[in-house]
Amino acid sequence: MSISSQADIEGLQRISDAVALTLKQMREYAKPGMSTKELDEFGGEILKKIRGKVCSQTYLWVSWLDMHQPE
């Protein structure tokens, strides 16, 4: 992707905010012994709620945040 307009910059800022919020909530949710799959699914639910569009889903990868290997 290339940034070619002010709208692109503003879109990237919105995406950055969504990612920051998701990571903050995931840090608070994470517990010892939890699988990365469970944590990934939690993060995916957050992104769905904020209508996040995630690149990995476009490529049919099973992970929302590309943080675990498929089982």
Question: Burial letters for 17-40: b for 16+ Cβ neighbours within 10 Å, e otherwise?
Answer: ebbeebeeebeeeeeeeeeeeebb
Q: Where are the domains of the chain?
A: 6-58
Mean pLDDT score, 4-13: 86
Q: Which residue has the higher pLDDT, 28 or 56?
A: 28
Mean pLDDT score, 53-59: 48
Mean pLDDT score, 64-71: 52
Each residue's pLDDT tens digit, 9-49: 888 888 888 888 889 999 999 999 999 889 988 988 888 88
